[in-house]
Copies of this chain bind each other. A is one copy, B any other.
């Protein structure tokens, strides 16, 4: 009989063995030329639609299980693949092939006084671990980005997408082999046991970085357990602050786009702060527009007083200011000053994206200087924090931490650097 601890030991060994195989693959992949990597991406883009039937069959089984388990419609929608969605993945891979190869870029270079020639060059990270939930397209997006940057990737998706992910990784590994790349460059880890995440994020020495992508719970669990360096992504308790000197129409447009363009994404706004000088006129109109768009307003006392007993307006509790709703809900408060807005954001924000609407230069300067976040918007929607919108051509996540990368991450963020020093026998003097 196999006891729980044997299973546990087996799972750990399985994850570490996958990591070792990925590591060996990374060594082969690192020196690959851009031409070879782009040919691989194009071959993948060709294979996915060609093998659409087997991908959709596997996906249908995942969808059926999710429905049988009573999953919400929105979750089923995120999970469901179609010919169009598979074609979209292929399109993403072709776009990736068009992007410059970050590997080999000389970041800095100089000749020292003693004649040593110094170069800091971009090199692949090595083995990248991805822990993610939901959409199966992340499997292909993340693998494509990792491979283009010369990395092997360990994928740990959710149990609900297991069959879809497995079908996609089969296509990926088949094409890797056909193109003369090591198939271990992409490995799908067991996804039914939470412990596989722990084994992945503690495989120090085997895995170079872990990127969690998903809800706050997933991200916290990874960061708390990890001994491998991890990059926090994506929790966005974003604010729109409407300053005393805001243009009324601009403020409404930015507010509605920030809140309602897509409510389920991390760059959606969750709290509106309005300067008191503007509150009498702005708050009732903003709340009316939010209500028209189907948004439930969680109002502080001053907002409640201004809008009275309106349907869909509920009193805000202390928790509301810290909540990333990811839904048609918005907390709304009146503040006495720009300084109070900055303090509120400092106390409750998650360091993702913060926006100010103002025509006043010194207010804009103070907000951008004092607000501590990955992205600070002046008179623009929070929805713009996105690798594609920023012109990066792709995105593997949005970092909300300060080390390594902050904000949208794409190809250069999946590399590290190496110092190359060329001499002719130089030695260092005793002091």
Does A186 reach chain B (CB closer than 8 Å)? no
Question: Which secondary structure characterizes the binding site on chain A?
Answer: mixed
In the complex, A405 Cα to B335 Cα: how many Å?
A: 40
Given A379-B424, A419-B374, answer yes or no on A403-B403 (Cβ-Cβ < 8 Å): yes
The complex is assembled from copies of this chain, and their number is: 2
A370 to B30, CA, bound (A): 8
| Smallest CB separation, A312 vs chain B (Å) | 23
Interface segment out of the listed A51-59, A168-176, A249-257, A289-297: A249-257
* A247–B424 alpha-carbon span in the complex (Å): 10
A224 at the interface (CB under 8 A from B): yes
Contact B116 A380 (CB under 8 A): yes
| CB of A154 closer than 8 Å to a CB of B | no
Kindly list chain B residues whose C-beta atoms are within 8 Å of the C-beta of A39: none
Pair A425/B380 contact, Cβ less than 8 Å: yes
| CB within 8 Å for A419 and B204 given contacts A254-B425, A257-B427, A428-B389 | no
Give chain A interface residues in 92-110, CB to chain B under 8 Å.
Answer: 110
**Residues of the B chain whose Cβ atoms lie less than 8 Å from the Cβ of A204:** 223
- With beta carbons under 8 angstroms apart, the residue of B423, B428, B430 that contacts A379 is B423
Task: Say yes or no: is A227 at the interface (Cβ < 8 Å to chain B).
Answer: yes
Size of the A side of the interface (Cβ < 8 Å), in residues, is 71
Q: Mark A375-395, 1 if CB is under 8 A from B, else 0.
A: 111111101111001110000
Q: Check A229 for interface membership: any CB of B closer than 8 A.
A: yes
Cβ contact of A383, chosen from B31, B422, B428, cutoff 8 A: B428
The chain A residues found within 8 Å of chain B, CB to CB, are 27, 30-31, 110, 112, 116, 118, 120, 123, 125-126, 204, 208-209, 223-224, 227, 229-231, 247, 249-250, 253-254, 256-258, 261, 346, 364, 368-370, 372-381, 383-386, 389-391, 401-404, 406-407, 416-428, 430
In the complex, A229 Cα to B430 Cα: how many Å?
A: 35
| Interchain residue pairs with CB less than 8 A apart (21) | A31-B369, A112-B389, A112-B390, A116-B380, A118-B391, A204-B223, A208-B403, A223-B227, A229-B229, A250-B425, A257-B428, A258-B427, A376-B418, A377-B423, A378-B420, A383-B427, A384-B428, A386-B428, A390-B419, A403-B404, A406-B419
Q: Tell me, in angstroms, the Cα distance from A118 to B425 when the chains sit together.
A: 45
A25 to chain B, nearest CB (A): 14
Cβ A209 vs Cβ B376 within 8 A? no
Asked if B418 and A231 make an inter-chain contact with CB atoms under 8 angstroms apart, the answer reads: no
Are A402 and B416 in contact (CB-based, < 8 A)?
yes
Minimal Cβ-Cβ distance residue in B for A416? B402
Taking a contact as CB atoms under 8 Å apart, the answer to whether B261 and A378 are in contact is no
Contact A385 B419 (CB under 8 A): yes
